[in-house]
Amino acid sequence: MERDRIRDLASQGSLDHRARAAALLIVRYCSFTDLPYFEPWFVGLRDGLRSAVSFAEGIIRDGPRAGQARQALAGINELLDSVDPDGPPFESKAAGALWFGGEVCKALDALEPVDEFLRIYERADRLAKGQDEIARHGIEVRDGWSPPGLRDAESVAAAADLADEVGDQAIQRSRQFAQEYTEVIARFYAADNPAKAWARPADS
Q: Is the dihedral of CA 189, 142, 30, 104 positive or negative?
A: positive
CA distance 165 to 156: 15
Helix/strand/coil for 147: coil
Condensed to tens digits (0 to 9), the pLDDT of residues 96-146 reads 999 999 999 999 988 777 887 899 999 999 999 999 999 988 887 777 888
What percentage of the chain carries pLDDT values higher than 90?
66
* Average pLDDT for 71-83: 95
∠ CA 25-95-62 to the nearest 5 degrees? 35
Is the pTM higher than 0.85? The answer reads yes
Return the pLDDT at 200: 42
Return the pLDDT at 99: 97
Most confident of 1-10, 50-59, 183-192: 50-59
CA distance 41 to 72: 23
Condensed to tens digits (0 to 9), the pLDDT of residues 140-171 reads 777 788 889 999 999 999 999 999 888 999 99
Query: How is the chain split into domains, by residue range?
Result: 3-188
Q: How far is CA 52 from the centre of its chain?
A: 10
Return the pLDDT at 195: 54
Return the pLDDT at 202: 42
CA distance 186 to 180: 10
**C-alpha neighbours within 13 Å on the C-beta side of residue 144:** 0
| b (16+ CB within 10 A) / e for 68-93 | bbeebbebbeebbeebeeebbbbbeb
CATH T-level fold of 3-188: YP_001051499.1 fold like (1.20.1590)
